Chains A and B, each alone.
Chain A
Amino acid sequence: MALIETKDLMKVYGLGEVSVKALDGVNLKVEKGEFLVLAGRSGSGKTTLLNMLGALDMPDSGTVRIHGEEYQQLSKNKRALFRLRHIGFVFQAYNLIRVLSARENVAYVLELQGMAKAERLERADKWLEEVGLGGFGKRRPDQLSGGQQQRVAVARALAAAPDIVLADEPTANLDSTTATELLDLLVELNETHNTTFIFASHDPDVISRAKRLIQMQDGRIASDETKG
């Protein structure tokens, strides 16, 4: 059984009298440990698909199955729990809770999962160390660079032990050196922890690292290429 399976996924947005098919019958299977990039121009549907895979948005029709579980029938609260159990996020920007330190940001989702304080702080420190931010735990987001903030977001996503990490344009706000460093880290984490990563990006650097590249166009999968 695939880790993720979507079937005939449809999403239509109404823009005044015009309606736009953001997703138009997307069928997709993702296996554990993949490093997948959804590419395509703006409006191609990659972020909408990512939001569906992350249980952040609901399809108009079709199904999303993650670990054999469909979230469409769940209440808002249960979908939040579903995300908490299965999915880690790295967004483009404003990724962190501003009033919490790096360590507290990572520990936040662990507390939501019900982990005891000592254990969650220990795990937060471990993951900050893993992403190269050992010793930065007490810093607040405004005391960290953009790249460091994204690393904290990665640590937070992975510390919760999700099935999938979804990253929406994670390098868009970073300079090229920092972006490369972040990508190196994500590739390494994918390889060492076998974590499934799915990106939505049109950054050539991200696309070049993809082990599987899906090109989106007009809400459909235009091509699906697995690299050797």
Chain B
Amino acid sequence: MSENPPPQAARKKNGAVTLSMVTYFLLALRNLTRNMRRTVLTLIALVVAIGSLTFMLTLTEGYLGSMKDNFVLTNFGHIQVNAPGFQEDGLIDNYMADTGPAIAAAQADPNVIASSQRVYVSGLANVATASAAIIVIGVEPEIEKSVTRMAGFVTDGAWLEVGDNGGVVLGIDVAETLEAELGDKVVMTTQAPGGDFSSQVFRVRGVMESGTPEIDRLMAIVTLEAAQAWLELGDGATTVVLRVDNHENTDVVYERMLDQLDGQLFETQRWFDVDPFIQQIVESSDTSIIFILAIVVVVVLGEIINTMFMALYERTREFGLMEALGTGRRQLFAMLLWETTVLVSIGGALGYGGAAILTAIYGKRGIDLTAFTESLSSLYMDPIIHPVMDLKITVYILATIAITALLAGVLPAWRATKLNPVEAMRQI
């Protein structure tokens, strides 16, 4: 046998040699094609499960994103700075006489896109035949366009012009209650600082419909200048509103604003501090996503474990042969794990790819849920949902695929290593 010496060079010190990844991959791929019908059925289950899970995640991301956008950009902004106590009691007495430091801090922040001053005060709107409870908002008409979408909600008439200190834009429900039309006079009464009642006449310049009940039923928007003059606030305002470049930076900007305004009489709040409802929906949605992920993993796991055990049972004799030939336990283990991984990866990739295509199509086109507009608008949801694919979803799906492959592969692979070659080769 000297002309055919045993190869030793590539062997490790303990004598173990690992099969190459190409060999594992080749064996996995070819073994999967042994029973095409079973492999295809398992793949279909995987594609449907991973595909629908991915699409559901992109859909959720889409509507949660739109909810946050709508809540923040409809009216509130990402961050509001008020005088201490104002957010709690809403009294005009708690106004900021000097908003300069808050405006300066906001303008200096690199992640703040725009900031505006507002005056909030509750009151009553009257016409000859009707009255309605209102919240008056004094805004800087041009700057406000960069902070929120309020100007875009005007459906009748026009948004306020700079210097139009006699005009008002009413929420659509307020206008309907008052039966007020464009150009009509509306008398608005409120309490000025100190408790004196003060009335002012405004003409209706526009009517706005945001789809958000609290805006449509309560808002009466005037210019900041008009509000300041009416309520004798000088240059003061109740609120400075900040728009941040994206939701993820809200906390960073908030912390910086706290630092900048430290020691001064301001109260700074994020949008979810003021109204935690949307944030709770986002957080509960994260919890339900993990729950659904777990269900999908369990269902898919059952399917794949079944498939792999069938494969193990059918090939017991071959595993016995491989072991007899010198295939080690680790190699047998790796072989079945590879097979599971290839199966899950193909199914996962197809499912993910399919969902990504659907997301791309419906991301542009949107999914029309107009039939549910009433209930959706109260949740700040758009009636047309645009699914969004992002890194977080990709990571979720990759993790699901990896966990599923690992869990589904380990048990059959472990069983393969426990086979006795003599008994295994006796199997028919």
Contact = CB atoms under 8 A, between A and B. Distances in A.
B3 to A, nearest CB: 8
A95 B324 CA distance: 11
Count chain B CB atoms within 10 A of each CB in A51, A108, A112, A159 and give the residue with the most.
A112
Interface string A10-27: 000000000000000000
B19 A112 contact: yes
Contact of A56 (B5, B11, B16, B324): B324
B318 A56 contact: no
Contacts of B30: 99-100
A153 B262 CA distance: 83
Given A98-B318, A99-B31, A161-B1, A119 B7 contact: yes
Contacts of B1: 161, 193-195
Given A112-B19, A114-B9, A80 B329 contact: yes
Interface string B306-321: 0000000000011001
B274 interface: no
Contact-residue bracket for chain A: 35 or more
A81 B425 contact: no
Contacts of B371: none
A194 B5 CA distance: 13
Nearest to A166: B324
A112 B17 contact: yes
Interface string B146-179: 0000000000000000000000000000000000
Q: Is the interface of B mostly helix, strand, loop or mixed?
A: loop
A160 interface: yes
A112 B327 contact: yes
A112 B27 CA distance: 14
Nearest to A107: B23
B326 A81 contact: yes
B140 interface: no
B324 A112 contact: no
A115 B16 CA distance: 12
Nearest to B33: A99
Contacts of A100: 27, 30
Contacts of A112: 17, 19, 325-327, 331
B5 A161 contact: yes
Interface in A111-127: 111-117, 119-120, 123
Interface stretch (A84-92, A175-183, A202-210): A84-92
Contact of A108 (B34, B323, B325): B325
Contacts of B331: 112
Given A112-B327, A114-B7, 17 more contacts: A80-B328, A81-B328, A84-B325, A85-B6, A89-B325, A91-B321, A94-B321, A98-B318, A99-B31, A99-B34, A109-B326, A114-B9, A114-B10, A115-B10, A160-B326, A161-B4, A195-B1
Q: Which 6 A-B pairs have the closest CB atoms?
A: A84-B326, A114-B10, A99-B30, A114-B17, A115-B7, A114-B11
